[in-house]
Chain A
Amino acid sequence: MSILNSGVTQQLSKKDSKEAADIYWTRYLPYIVLVVVFAAVSIFVPYFLTISNLLSVLLQTASLAILAIGQAAVLILGGIDLSMPGVMALGSIFGAMYMRAGGNPVLGAVIMLLVPAALGLINGISVSYFGMIPFVVTLAMQAITIGAATMITNQISIPVPENFCNAMLTKIGGIPLPIIIVLILTLFLQFAVTKTYYGRWLYSTGTNMRTSRVSGVPTKKVVLAAYSFAGLMGGLAAIIMTSRLYAASPQMGKDAVAMDIIASAAVGGVSTMGGVGTAVNAVIGAIIITLISNVMNMANVSYYLTLVIKGIIIITFVAIDANSRKKSTK
């Protein structure tokens, strides 16, 4: 089995292949979309295909890719996390405040990582042990965190020390550190979800929680872990984004960011209905969404039209996914 294949759709027999070709063409869709978008952008945007430009696009993608990876873990379970932007912003602000007060930048980074992870843990406990609806819990968490972030900062950015940012943006062999982090993280997680039993538990729980429970899979712990992981990824994204902006700002957590995260996962091939998707899917989706955002930015498309277009993209891809599901369970 190839490491690139996502949970449920792995391993297709020859006998199934005709039917499978019908159902699972969607699994190649993200790659096709990536190639098409990439080709279109290279044709219409001058200097796009230069190494320095490509690296800057990837650097720009890094935090969204990490957020999409976290979201993917939750989506595979059939859940959703709408609180990632707010959680990320609050983590960033706490870390920045600590550093502004003279705190050690390394500890500042740890705070940025752990505050979102703790908030993700709260999401996870609410969903798994209290049986609350993920949509409601995480929407409320988004309101809480973005409200708190705006209140604490009075809407003013908090600058972070330059040495913190420079350290995070160091280039290794000409490649900025965030890109390397995303690369290593993606490879590690891809391996984890396709090769370890924790990954298998994630897919089985997302495919059928009741069957998994009867079979002895610790489903509550799996759910708890996925939401905590999403929080942790929010923290990692907070560190990267803060160092790119040289400041922490409640703007990082605005609601529309959740759109980008979910759009990335959906376009990349993570099913919003659970059971399907991998880290690679999430990253590809993040690259596609970043490219589309950039093009719209360059073409001076208004912010509101951008929202309309992204919303349409989400609905389109979810519709394609739902349609292929309908065929497969016929």
Chain B
Amino acid sequence: MTIPYLKMDGIAKSFPGVQALKNVTFEASQGEILALVGANGAGKSTLMNVLGGNIEPNSGKIYINGKEVRISSPSDAAANGIAFVHQEMAMLPTMSIADTMYISSFPYKHGLIDYKTIYQRCRVVLKRLGCNFDPRERIRNISPGDQQMVEIGRALLHDPQIIIFDEPTSSLTSREKEHLFEVIRTLKQEGSVIIYISHFLDEVFSLCDRVMVLRNGETAGGGLVSEYTNRDIVKMMIGEKEIDTYYERSEHRAGEEIMRVKGIYRSGVINDISFSLRKGEVVGLWGQLGSGRTEVARALVGLDPIDGGTISIKMGDQMMPVKQSETKKYIGMITENRREEGLLLPMSVCNNMSLANLTNLTKKKPFSSVIDSKLENSETDKYVKRMDIKISSQAQRVETLSGGNQQKVIIGRWLQKNPPIYIMDEPTRGLDVGAKADIRRIISDLAEQGAGILVISSEIEEIMSVSDRYLVMKRGSIVAEFGSNASKEDLVATATGAASKKE
């Protein structure tokens, strides 16, 4: 066998608290499309960022064409013929296509930007991608699919030998996707090394020649795509040896229906979302990053707009439709980004925990807008003790707390208000094992006390340890529903599209 064009040997990288990559070895040859797959957090992005010069590994070597190379910055990567087509397009909406493609490397002539050369070169590159845009067109005037082409065009400007595609189809329509695949196949025939990162196994099977699976920062397997079935790859992604009962699963008794969502949608983001939530049950909303799970959660509490559909909530003994702007009154929302949307960082623990409940912490008439600070302090104290939040005093500023305690402060804010429904988006993200367990216990307790809870998590073990039922999302739609007996394999397979016909 010939020497592979690209070889990454023994790559390891650790971040504070996480070993993201452990001794990963990776090979790719010219004229092939290699799929890189793995669950969220398996290390795909880290590995490719090492190759792209965005992250420096702790150890390991990279060989191109048999020669060892050092890549410590994106420009090193470019110099070695590596181009990265990013998932989130770094677009400048008000600038022209040509400016966007050349933004990091404008050619000059007599001290001025040489637009003549730029336009010429852009036309050539775009034509190669089958696009006939005027390079002077503004980015905001072209479709997301065409923007993706511009992004690829930018990557192709310097005639790269190795092209990395990171989730390139996440914002494309199916026709744009087909066009993109054509382009990728052409690039392959021209002899490029193509690395294709995807959440969607169906794409892997229709496009790629070889597959490599990462799991928890390690190589879990790989080989020719034609030698595998969907299920084989799913098994490699989740690992066969991992035992489901590793996390203690709690069973809750679901009561009557408490919230009913019917056909909510937002064009291009989420489609026809319908489900119901019952008292005392934890529903896991599972899906890959970008599947629309967070968007659904935000739409339910009016943080993102919707184009249609109804949300009904149980009031008394009737389900009443509630305006989207009013649902916040009944739902405790824990967003995925606690520093930006969860906390008032420079303010005290007490002020943070009473924020959602202030109107109930007032003195009697006629001072019903005056906060009763004794009541505020005693309520805060109650939930600080109940959740075992480690603070020096209620006056401590939240920004000085650890992540786990900060998250408990946010949950405590809602416990104080005591809504019938909770939505928790990544409630344990970035927390240590102890804090994670505490928060799972709180979720379980809440369900036992009769709350209806919708939980989103990127960690499958976590979502399986708390959920009684699962809704699986893919590309903005709910594609499957499972009971508590669902297996890890079921969840991963439906979310990646490997088992669209089953169930």
- Do the two shown chains form a genuine complex with each other? yes
Which chain B residues lie closer than 8 Å to A15 at the CB level? Answer: 392-393, 396
Q: A275 contacts B346, CB within 8 Å?
A: yes
If A210-B341, A211-B344 touch, whether A16 touches B396 (CB-CB below 8 Å) is: yes
Q: How far is the CA of A203 from the CA of B329 in the complex (A)?
A: 21
CB distance from B311 to the nearest CB of A (A): 16
Query: Are B348 and A10 touching (Cβ within 8 A)?
Result: yes
Please report the C-alpha to C-alpha distance between residue A187 and residue B240 in the assembled complex, in whole angstroms: 69
In whole angstroms, how far apart are the Cα atoms of A195 and B333 in the complex?
Answer: 26
The answer to whether A8 touches B356 (Cβ under 8 A) is no
**Chain B residues within 8 Å of A214, by CB:** 301, 303, 333, 335, 341-342
Report the bound CA distance from A196 to B333 in whole Å. Answer: 24
Q: Flag if B347 contacts A207 (CB, 8 Å).
A: yes
Q: Among the interface residues B340, B348, B396, which one has the most CB atoms of the partner chain A within 10 A? A: B348
Closest to B399 in A: A329
For residue A213, CB closer than 8 A to chain B, the reply is yes
Among B10-18, B210-218, B367-375, B432-440, the one that faces the other chain is B367-375
The chain A residue sitting closest to B417, CB to CB, is: A216
List the B residue with the shortest CB-CB distance to A200.
Answer: B358
Q: Is the CB of A210 within 8 A of B340?
A: yes
CB of A208 within 8 A of CB of B345, answer yes
Q: Does B310 contact A (CB under 8 A)?
A: no
The answer to the question of A13 belonging to the interface, with a C-beta cut-off of 8 Å to chain B, is yes
Size range of the interface on A? Answer: 20 to 34
* Contact (Cβ within 8 A) B395 A204: no
A-B pairs with beta carbons under 8 A, tally: 89
Does A135 sit at the interface, judged by CB under 8 A?
no
A215 within 8 A of B: yes
Interface size class of B (residues with CB under 8 A): 35 or more
Residues of B near A316 (CB, < 8 A) are none
A328 touches B355 (CB 8 A): no
| A319–chain B nearest beta-carbon distance, Å | 19
* In-complex Cβ contact of A204 among B341, B342, B355, B397 (8 A): B355
Known: A13-B396, A16-B397. Is A197-B362 also a contact (CB below 8 A)? yes
Our pick among B344, B371, B392 for the contact of A208 (Cβ within 8 Å) is: B344
| B348/A11 in contact, CB under 8 A | yes
Task: Report the minimal beta-carbon distance from A93 to chain B, rounded to whole angstroms.
Answer: 35
A139 contacts B by Cβ under 8 Å: no
CB-CB under 8 A from B345, the residues of chain A are 207-208, 329
B413 contacts chain A at the CB level, 8 A cutoff: yes
Question: Contacts of B369 on A, CB cut-off 8 Å?
Answer: 196-198
B33 beta carbon closer than 8 Å to chain A: no
- Near B by CB (< 8 A), chain A positions 1-57 give 1, 7-8, 10-16
Partner of B346, one of A8, A13, A201, A217: A8
Contact partner of A12 (CB less than 8 A), chosen from B371, B373, B395, is B395
- Nearest B residue to A15 via CB reads B392
Q: Which residues of A contact B358 (CB under 8 A)?
A: 197, 200-201
Contacts A15-B396, A16-B400 known; A204 to B373 CB distance under 8 Å? no
Q: Which of A11, A14, A204, A329 contacts B344 (CB 8 A)?
A: A204
Q: Does A126 contact B (CB under 8 A)?
A: no
| Residues 198-253 of A contacting B (Cβ, < 8 Å) | 198, 200-201, 203-204, 207-208, 210-217
Chain B residues within an 8 Å CB radius of A8 = 346-347
**Chain A neighbourhood of B393, CB < 8 A:** 13-15
Q: Say yes or no: A203-B347 contact (C-beta < 8 A), given A197-B359, A212-B355.
A: yes
A195, B367: Cα distance in complex, Å? 10
Which of the listed residues A7, A207, A212, A215 has the most CB atoms from chain B within 10 Å of its own CB? A215
Chain A residues contacting B371 (CB-CB under 8 Å) are 195-197, 200
- Which A positions have Cβ atoms within 8 angstroms of B? 1, 7-8, 10-16, 195-198, 200-201, 203-204, 207-208, 210-217, 275, 328-329
Q: Which residues of B contact A (CB under 8 A)?
A: 301, 303, 328-329, 333, 335, 340-348, 350-351, 354-356, 358-359, 361-362, 369-371, 373, 392-397, 399-400, 413, 417
Top 4 nearest A-B pairs (CB, nearest first) are: A11-B395, A197-B358, A13-B393, A15-B392
